Structure 1
Amino acid sequence: MNHNTPILTKRIFIECSPKTLFSFFVDPDKMVRWIGQHVLLEPKIGGKYRIDINGENIALGEYKEITPYEKVVLTWGWEGLEIMPPGSSTVEFVLTPHDSGTLLTLNHFDLPIEKMTSNDQGWTHYMTRLQRLAEGQNIGPDPWATDKK
């Protein structure tokens, strides 16, 4: 990781156990309910993932670290995007038990400065969806996941 680039950090409190929340990062049927329209996961170290947001924007990378109920680290990038190709950045999700639920901290390392704003907005959108979903709300399909055809 290049520590000269700014780190995008976001935190959100979610009223569910770390065990419940963890499943939303390793179970494709659960992940697709909060991010993207098609999700393929190989949740093991070095395992690949593919998150198709809307038929055009496709996130690709691999699992770097999986600590059950505590932490998931993925390389992150976009298919066909020169400024941020697959594997060019790293996303870390840290799950910390807190009161009656879990404090979810996201750290996105090695983001190109030009992509800070869009990724900040993107993670705000998706972490809010994850929060509501993990707390048992019916959030429906991702409004960003409409096919751009």
Structure 2
Amino acid sequence: MSFERTVILPVAAEVAFDLVTDPARIRRWQSVACRVDLRLGGEFRYTMGPGHQATGTFTEIEPGRRLVFDWGWEGSAEVPPGATTVFLTLEPVDGGTALTLRHEGLGPQQAASHAEGWNHFLDRLTQYAATGHPVFDEWNACPEPENPLVSAEASLAALQFALDRLTEADSTHQTPCTEFTVADLVDHLAKNLALIGVALGLDLTDRPALQPEPRIASLAQPVLEAFYGHGLTGELTLGSTSLPASVVAGILNLELLVHGWDFAQATAQDFPVDPGLAAYVLGLAHEVIGAPQRASGSFGPPTAIAESADSMDRLLAFTGRFPAPAGQLSHA
């Protein structure tokens, strides 16, 4: 069985091709994280939602006209990597480009689920092509994370949505961490992601010249992919300290989710986080943050807050922050 749908994008075919091949564009309508090697035989890996990784290989590439790749899901017995094929064709029409997506090789049950998925993402692509502004994907809310890597992907989705809306003028804004401006906090986050990457055996190159969202995305994607390869058992050496891999995953969650809130607060943004995700990361925070971490200055003393407060506010208070309405600065 197959799925097929055509949408009209109000952009030229070359721009439409860029929307479906450039990682920075793909993150705005389709994936949380993505790795793309756009050449014949090149591979891609898309995190289509927290805990869901699609992989494949490009078999045909005609810029502005056609893209063909095989498609499957990591860990899936029903649609394993290489099991199906996706065809994208682009045709100029009045008012823009007709993009037709055809997905072949699906069984009946998988055809239904993939139809739901492709319709969701094609609607988002159409909206993004028309407005140029991404909308947070509710499929990334992740109210019940299966493990700390899934919650880290959901936290990354929230962080990247905040980073994507930063402007050059925001770089000097004070963040809730009193020692960091927005620009300083981007540097701090990039440094810590690279440090976790080293613990996972990666040699990452930070590119400070990039805008904040692609800079952080280019570090977070390989870190998460390597973490999936390593798993949550065993130990990792973070700096000079050996820690359980599960604790390092907890640190990663705090870096992504709490600093995402810091960026949003510093720039008067809403920060959409599902209460279930925040509660899960709060549980991880209790495993990560102890007296030594507070004594070192990494975290301030916990802030008093009502037990009836929502889970995100309780997470922030546990890290030493003062939860406040969007747009009102807090202090670490």
Question: TM-score normalized by structure 2?
Answer: 0.42
Match of 1:34 in 2: 29
Q: State the aligned residue count.
A: 144
Matches for 1:1-149 after TM superposition, within 5 Å: 6-147=1-142, 149=145
SS state at 1:53 partner: strand
Q: CA deviation at 1:74?
A: 1.2
Aligned counterparts of 2:31 and 2:139: Cα–Cα separation in 1: 8
Residues 109-128 of structure 1 show CA distances to partners (whole Å, capped at 9, x for unaligned) of: 10122111111111111011
Structure 2 CA distance, aligned partners of 1:91 and 1:111?
A: 10
Q: CA deviation at 1:15?
A: 0.9
Q: Which runs of 5+ in 2 are unaligned?
A: 146-332
Equivalent residue letter for 2:72: G
**In the TM superposition, what is the alpha-carbon distance from 1:131 to its structure 2 partner?**
1.0
User: Aligned with 2:121: secondary structure?
Assistant: helix
- Going by fraction, where is helix more abundant, 1 or 2? 2
Share of identical aligned residues, percent?
A: 30
Unpaired segments ≥5 residues, structure 1: 1-5
Displacement after TM superposition at 1:52 (Å): 0.7
Deviation, structure 1 residue 101: 0.5
Letter of the structure 2 residue corresponding to residue 69 of structure 1? G
Local SS of the residue matching 2:64: coil
User: Could you say what secondary structure the match of 2:81 adopts?
Assistant: coil
Alpha-carbon distance, 1:54 to partner: 2.5
Task: State the shift of 1:35 in Å.
Answer: 0.7
Give the letter for the 1:117 counterpart. Answer: A
- Between the aligned partners of 2:42 and 2:36, the Cα distance in structure 1 is 8
Q: Which has the larger radius of gyration?
A: 2
